[in-house]
């Protein structure tokens, strides 16, 4: 005899949905805590806010993170939400919006939020000029000596 008259399956689905919402809310809360911890460690909350905005601008530059789209369960592992359609703090987001993260840093540390950055094309963000010496992995390969087969 089914005492719940078929409602058990609906309750299970609702419970799974509620658990997912709680998990996402916890993930957003952890992002705020991680930002505050990073700002304390670096001693420069404005630099962290600026870095978050640069990463966000780069992520919004029109590229899709194919690996993240194929496995959205890994979205919480990224600094900025890698999935399409992000940008707002909502029930279904694993990350707070960058604007909210920067505002939280400014509020917590009594500073001014970093200026808002616009997305830039990838070519503008990555330059080919080096300002550091090449490491051992950057050095040109020496020609190999011929082996016994040529």
What tens digit of pLDDT does each residue of 96-121 get? Answer: 888 899 999 999 888 655 555 555 55
User: Residues 58, 60, 63, 68: what is their CA dihedral angle, to the nearest 10 degrees?
Assistant: 100
Task: Report, in angstroms and rounded to the nearest whole number, the Rg of the chain calculated over CA atoms.
Answer: 23
What is the residue whose two structure tokens read 């999935």?
Answer: 83
Say how far apart CA 8 and CA 4 lie, in whole Å: 6
Q: pLDDT per residue over 74-98, tens digit each?
A: 776 776 766 665 444 566 677 788 8
Q: Does residue 73 carry a pLDDT above 80?
A: no
Greatest mean pLDDT among 1-5, 61-65, 116-120, 135-139: 61-65
CB 37 within 8 A of CB 109: no
Distance in angstroms between the alpha carbons of the first and the last residue of the chain: 80
Packing angle between helix 98-109 and helix 7-42, nearest 10 degrees? 50
CB 85 within 8 A of CB 150: no
Residue boundaries of the structural domains of the chain: 7-124
Structure tokens at 33: 């805590």
Look at residues 79, 83, 67 and name the one whose alpha carbon lies nearest to residue 34. 79
């Amino acid at each position: 005899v089914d005492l719940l008259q078929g409602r058990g399956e609906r309750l299970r689905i609702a419970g799974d949905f509620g658990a997912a919402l709680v998990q996402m809310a916890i993930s957003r809360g952890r992002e705020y805590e991680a930002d505050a911890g990073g700002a304390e460690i670096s001693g420069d909350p404005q630099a962290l806010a600026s870095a978050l905005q640069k990463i966000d601008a780069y992520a919004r530059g029109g590229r899709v993170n194919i690996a993240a789209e194929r496995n959205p369960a890994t979205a919480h592992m990224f600094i900025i939400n890698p999935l399409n359609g992000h940008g707002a703090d909502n029930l279904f987001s694993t990350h707070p919006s960058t604007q909210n993260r920067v505002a939280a840093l400014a509020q917590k540390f009594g500073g001014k939020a970093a200026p808002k950055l616009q997305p830039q094309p990838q070519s503008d963000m990555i330059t080919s000029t080096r300002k550091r010496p090449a490491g051992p992995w950057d050095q040109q390969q020496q020609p190999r000596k011929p082996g016994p087969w040529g």
